[in-house]
Structure 1
Amino acid sequence: MEAVSPSLREDLGGTVQPVPPFVLLLPPGWVSLEPTRDVFDDLAARASAVFRSQHRPDLDAQFRSMVASAADEFLSRDPVRIIMQRDVPAELMLPVTIMAARLSSPDGASLDARVSDLVRSQGAHPLDDRGVIMKWSSTSDRETEAGRVGLRGFNYLVPVPETARRQAVLFTASVPARADGETLGEDYLERLELVIDAVMSTFRWSA
């Protein structure tokens, strides 16, 4: 069991109210970490070792560039946690990282309108019978210094309690699905999606 407890962050305007603690049941070898630049550097270094062992310096360069870009974007938002594999053999590593960030309506209104738009435009739907978590998939391309990388995203939106649905936590599992002319097969991506769904289905607020 991994208790994911965001730490209190401060800005120039004063204390930022933290996201309430929550719990996810993570598979062996997975960890939940504070969102820092060092975590992204460690992720890039571990993946680099795998690519070098496979004699793929091209993919190594692309992945490092992609991680650096993702770190800049994620850390500029309202990051909450990074969830990834760490204590697993290289041959068992999965090409996925789950990043959790807080979303807030800029005008203080409910996020219900945004969720309705996600249902219409992205096919968002409840993850399970509880209906608490909304899920949808996405595809995007990211330009890196080493070339273009195609990403598959699995997204999970959870409203923060006692905020009148004005805040939510967005979990995004990003998978580099296409790079350097090579593409992960749909069967493999579907298996990855099942793993991530299983992890997210264990989500609960601990307070």
Structure 2
Amino acid sequence: MTDAGAGRGGDPMNAPEGSTERISLRAELGAAPDPDFTLVLPPGWIRRSVDGAVEKDMLGAMRSRLMQAHRPDLYAQMDRLLRDAFTQMRRVEAVAMFVPSADASEALYLPASLTASIQRAPAGENLDAVVREAIAERGATALLEDKRFLRMETDEVQTLEGERVAVTTVMYLTPIPGSQRRRALRLVLVIMRPVDVPADDPPMVAMRTLFDLCVSTLAWLPAGDAASA
């Protein structure tokens, strides 16, 4: 396992973390920054930021791999999918993503993605109502009986590039220390599989269990310390 350290409407569980102006105002007012975090990841996985430089780097690496595999025909499709993924992450204002390292020979490649973002309560409120609704209406439970983490799982069939795929989404929510439950770290795991593979297929269960265990290792660090964790 590898260790990784992130700093920081409609469906309340999928609400974005807030505007850039709001974050800037918080900084201008001298508010203390939220703590960073670290967690154990699958072998060969690393934490990466969600910015233009990382997107450009990943697009270049993908193009090189496809050229080496003599599959330039897939480039346009994969380029669009990767750009769409970054657009979606920016829409929800993700602060980090966790992926296999292209340089790690032992990297465990899985049909899964894990992203982190910050969920904020409306001004003057906390996230207690969101938690109550998730438990009452969506079957959310404590992660591995640890009440610091709320875990909610959904399973649905989606159409991607004209093909139907089964998608399992697991959302984890835990309050940020010092936020008076007004802000929470939100980790979202997405696992894809063929539609003829059931959700309780042993490899799928093992994959969900693996990431449950990874998220359960989350530890908070002083702001800015994640990079050295």
* TM-score, normalised via structure 2 length: 0.70
User: What's the CA shift for 1:45?
Assistant: 6.6
Distance 2:130 2:100 in 1: 31
Corresponding position of 1:158: 174
Equivalent positions of 1:39-188 (< 5 A) are 39-40=54-55, 49=65, 64-86=79-101, 87-89=103-105, 92-140=108-156, 144=160, 146-148=161-163, 150=165, 151-178=167-194, 183-186=196-199, 187=201, 188=203
Distance 2:171 2:60 in 1: 25
Q: Which amino acid aligns with 1:93?
A: Y
| 1:30 equivalent in alignment to 2:45 | yes
Distance 1:93 1:67 in 2: 17
RMSD: 3.5
- Contact 2:100-2:108 at 8 Å conserved across structures: no
Deviations 1:146-200 (A, max 9, x none): 225542111111111111111111100112224xxx5545322211101111111
Corresponding position of 2:11: none
In percent, how many aligned pairs have the same letter? 22
- Contact 2:3-2:39 at 8 Å conserved across structures: yes
Query: Unaligned regions of 5+ residues in structure 1, if any?
Result: none
* TM-score, normalised via structure 1 length: 0.77
Q: Secondary structure at the match of 2:148?
A: coil
- Contact 2:44-2:106 at 8 Å conserved across structures: no
Q: Which amino acid aligns with 2:46?
A: V
Q: Secondary structure at the match of 1:132?
A: strand
- Contact 1:110-1:165 at 8 Å conserved across structures: yes
Distance 1:114 1:198 in 2: 24
Distance 2:97 2:148 in 1: 21
Q: Which has the larger radius of gyration?
A: 2
Corresponding position of 2:7: 6
Distance 2:55 2:204 in 1: 23
User: What's the CA shift for 1:66?
Assistant: 3.9
Q: Which structure is higher in RCO with an 8 Å CA cutoff and minimum separation 6?
A: 2
Distance 1:171 1:156 in 2: 5
Q: How many pairs were matched up?
A: 200
